[in-house]
Amino acid sequence: MGGGGCMDPLGYFLNNTERIATYAQIHFKVVLIVTVISLLLWIPVGVLITRNERLAQVALNIANLLMCIPSIALFAIFVTIPFFGLGMRSAATALVMYAMLPLLRNVYKGVKSVDKSIIEAGRGMGMPSWRLFWEIELPLALPVIFAGIRISVVLTTGITTVATFIGVQTLGRLIQLGISRSNMDMIIVGALIVAVISLAIDFILGRIERKLISPGLRVNS
């Protein structure tokens, strides 16, 4: 369908629910995989760099640099590497790189923002370092860390759209096909669905945050 007729995004959505559901399923799969890998990778690294300022600056500078690279360019870089190539491996790896900054920065800021007098009081009570971290630093840093998780997941949900250009049929496929066919309905539907999903995920994570974190410790967002 060309772009010359009257636009009917709702009609397109209702007539293509099966195709949209397939793309949405793949989209969610990518976001879930990337989120799990990112949390397992970057949260421990974030904790590690709080113990070494020089290492922290290097890691945060690398994360900032990666965030400055346009998403399509970073995807393309991994595509050219034989082990990755077109498809899920390149997409997931690039997305994990993008998740690095919000997670590292918020873990670092969260742990570093804990009142030093509280830590010293714990040391004065004879608490070992591991207990200080698990019982004092982590609980007090959790609001900032959770804010980073929310940012990371929403960011991943949006950028996953671009993965369609390297062979992963996410919801970005609707936008890609819409552009190639000059079909505004496809573009609008694809963009709106991704936006709604991002808002929904952020809302759900916000509700989880309210359950896990006491009101006095929450970060306003």
Contact partners, residue 68, CB within 8 Å, separation at least 6: none
- Altogether, the residues listed in the chain come to a count of 221
- In-domain check, residue 217: no
- In-domain check, residue 166: yes
- Residue 215, pLDDT score: 62
Counting Cβ atoms within 10 Å, is residue 44 exposed (0-12), middle (13-18) or buried (19+)? exposed
Domains held by the chain: number: 1
- In-domain check, residue 193: yes
- In-domain check, residue 220: no
**Which tokens in the block code for residue 204?**
């759900």
- In-domain check, residue 15: yes
Domain membership of residue 195 as a residue range: 9-211
- In-domain check, residue 118: yes
* Model pLDDT for residues 30-58, shown as the tens digit of each residue: 999 999 999 999 999 999 999 999 999 99
Mean pLDDT by 10 residues, the chain (221 residues): 66 93 95 96 94 94 93 91 90 95 95 85 80 85 92 95 92 93 93 94 90 64 47
- In-domain check, residue 14: yes
- In-domain check, residue 170: yes
- Residue 2, pLDDT score: 47
The domain that holds 106 is classified in CATH as 1.10.3720.10
Q: How far are the Cα atoms of 140, 206, 218 from residue 116, in angstroms, in the given order?
A: 12, 28, 19
